[in-house]
Amino acid sequence: MALTNADYRDMQGLLRYGYGRLTESCFLLLQIDDSVAAAHWLETAPVTTAEEQNPPPTQALQVALTYEGLRSLKISDEVLNGFSAEFISGMSGDENRSRRLGDEGASAPKYWEWGGPGGVPDMVAILYSQPGHLAEWKVTIEDGLAQSGFKLLQCLPTADMCGVEPFGFVDGVSQPRLDWEGKRNVAGDKLSYENVSMLGEFVLGYPNEYGKYTERPMILAQEPGDLPMADDMPGYKDIGRNGTYLVVRQIEQDVRSFWRFIDEQVKQDASKRQDLAEKMVGRQMSGDPLLPTITQSITGVGPETRDIQQNQFTFDGDSDGIRCPFGAHVRRANPRNADYPTGTHGLVARLTRLLGFGRRSMREDMLASTRFHRLLRRGREYGIKLSPDQRFQLPLPGEPPSGLQFACLNANIGRQFEFVQSAWLMNGKFDGLSEESDPLLGNREFVVGYPVDGFSLPVADGVRQQIRDIPRFTTVRGGAYFFLPGMRALRFLARAARV
Ligand code: HEM
């Protein structure tokens, strides 16, 4: 397979950077009222690319469009039909999808503050800035947008909680490492877990973990437009290349109910609260894993050392789920397994597994290989950060809600975000568990007559402890699927809009 050289100049920066130092940020949800004026804004918007800047930028702007937005820009059907079915349908556009994603009960799209029926924005403009500078810059951007045919529907705020999400856990610890230089070889089976992903898992127009290219819109090479050529389709220009899909979900967190429930479970024994909360999340509150890392002895202070210390582990050494329960949020979200269950070595063993024989326990065959289902998370917290004491006090009058503006990038919404969300997080049956869903995200709705509201804690040499009647700790308040185009594709779409 040819080496791929990523074109950072043609990518939006979010693919490469989380903009962690730009601690102030907001998501502007917009509607396009005047497609010609909006297209002009898009053609000249100061969008930040993935090129390395020295010194690093003090502010960054990213833009992404929904299917509705592309339609408002009057992009041709020929181009529109090249986008993925999930993107075209949208996050809330189909009842079956909503059910699979767990968007039911209080999280149903009909209650959403944005993104539900009739409320899908056309575009999101995400602003990142150094502390103290967002407010002024936001006014300038908003003015420019207002004068260019955009109507501001909502501004999703974020809050700098110093890398800690509202329940109190360090967030943003585990991320896949992207193979920017195209060195990864995906030929053959992967018999051990690796944290490196092919670029095509996150950037359209490059080979993915199957060694293939994800479908995306293209036009014939002779058609006008400055676009990259498609690697895999001679004679075609690639509208997807250097772009990706952005999933945004506003998830409100009931911090007090989370900690109160935990307190009840441990019979108000303060020394046991943290342990149970960490078992539900699957990491220590500090961000350290519940299992020893392979290289925990490594010393140093750099971000790479920290990443190794916090991420070089798998769950192989915890096959009973005693240290990290099978149902814990991070074990569901990334089971860290390879193409075959642990201990499957040699051709005969692999063939036996492939044919469905030789299963040692129910658990083993219920997990798909992790490398096809990775997410690049780019979320930000919102609301107020409660101190450990405040978590047990009544809310102050008028206290704003807190939560996560969950955001992730992926090249294939169905195989990545939707699979993780539905098959691993929301599914009542996962990894040998039943009537359980993600302890943080589960909607606790009934499925075929049974509530999905349990959590099992395996105990060494004992009967596993079962927690039941877990209340809902999180509620989805909005969400949408966006296309985050490469720079040339963004300008191309802007020009195509005006014809
Ligand atoms: C309010 C909602 C959520 C909260 C409070 C939350 C919290 C956390 C925390 C504390 C971690 C561990 C630290 C880290 O590795 O960054 C984590 C990891 C993770 N979460 Fe979430 N999360 C939420 C929603 C979601 C959603 C909606 C998804 C996907 C659909 C998701 C996917 C992941 C993944 C993939 C990891 C990394 C697992 C690993 O590689 O070890 N999370 N989350």
CA neighbor of 440 nearest in space, from 269, 283, 268, 270: 283
The continuous run of DSSP H or E covering 309 comes out as helix 303-311
283 close to ligand 1 (CB < 6 Angstrom): yes
169 close to ligand 1 (CB < 6 Angstrom): yes
Average pLDDT over every residue of 359-369:
62
165 close to ligand 1 (CB < 6 Angstrom): yes
CA neighbor of 45 nearest in space, from 133, 118, 184, 141: 141
Q: What is the pLDDT of residue 244?
A: 98
CA neighbor of 378 nearest in space, from 73, 114, 128, 37: 128
CA 330 to centroid of ligand 1, rounded, Å: 6
Name the band, by pLDDT with cuts 50, 70 and 90, for residue 304.
Answer: confident
198 close to ligand 1 (CB < 6 Angstrom): no
Query: How does 49-69 read in b/e, with b if 16+ C-beta sit within 10 Å?
Result: bbeeeeeebebbbbbbbbbbb
Residue 378 has pLDDT above 80, yes or no: yes
CA 333 to centroid of ligand 1, rounded, Å: 7
Residue 348 has pLDDT above 70, yes or no: no
* 440, 473, 474, best to mutate for ligand 1 pocket (most atoms within 8 Å of CB): 440
375 close to ligand 1 (CB < 6 Angstrom): yes
373 close to ligand 1 (CB < 6 Angstrom): no
Name the band, by pLDDT with cuts 50, 70 and 90, for residue 480.
Answer: very high
β-partners of residue 480 are: 248
101 close to ligand 1 (CB < 6 Angstrom): no
Average pLDDT over every residue of 142-151:
98
